[in-house]
């Protein structure tokens, strides 16, 4: 990749990260919605007498609720993807900075040779 192509590549990756962030917000809302439904079901279950029974029932419902499992897995996938994109972004920025420094060094060397 040429030095002048890096700003566009960085902007494209930032746009991709923005889209992932939007999907992450949606996935978090889905997980929260599922958890609210589970908590609502527990709140109205008169068979449950104490907090330990409620916690056990909550865990049981979380493990068996297909919507919650799907939303939770999607959230984890998006979080992993976001992490990978962050690594790619940092590598791209570092490479760009390194190339700029190398270019400056080459210019300084040429100026030094011209002055001598």
In which region does residue 41 sit, left (phi positive, over 0), alpha (psi from -120 to 50) or beta (all else)? alpha
Nearest to 65 by CA among 87, 41, 38, 45: 38
How high is the pLDDT of residue 30?
98
Q: Which domain holds residue 81?
A: 3-115
More confident residue, 116 or 28: 28
pLDDT-derived band at 75, boundaries 50, 70, 90? very high
Total count of domains within the chain? 1
How confident is residue 116, by pLDDT bands cut at 50, 70 and 90? confident
What is the separation of C-alpha 90 from the centre of its chain, rounded to a whole number of angstroms? 14
pLDDT of residue 72: 98
Instruction: Tell me what the mean pLDDT of segment 48-76 comes to.
Output: 95
Report whether 27 contacts 71 (CB < 8 A).
yes
Which residue, chain included where needed, has tokens 């609720």? 65
Res. 92: pLDDT tops 90: yes
Q: What is the model's pTM?
A: 0.83
How many C-beta atoms surround the C-beta of residue 33 within 10 A? 13
What would the mean pLDDT of 64-80 be, rounded to a whole number?
A: 98
What is the pLDDT, as a whole number, of residue 82? Answer: 98
């Amino acid at each position: 990749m040429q030095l002048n192509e890096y700003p566009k590549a960085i902007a494209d990756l930032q746009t991709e990260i923005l889209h992932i962030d939007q999907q992450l917000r949606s996935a978090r809302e889905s997980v929260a919605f599922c958890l609210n439904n589970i908590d609502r079901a527990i709140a109205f279950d008169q068979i449950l007498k104490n907090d330990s029974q409620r916690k056990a029932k909550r865990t049981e419902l979380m493990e068996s609720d297909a919507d919650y499992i799907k939303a939770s897995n999607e959230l984890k996938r998006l979080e992993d993807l976001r992490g990978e994109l962050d690594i790619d972004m940092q590598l791209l920025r570092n490479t760009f900075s390194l190339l700029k420094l190398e270019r400056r060094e080459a210019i300084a060397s040429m100026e030094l040779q011209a002055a001598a």
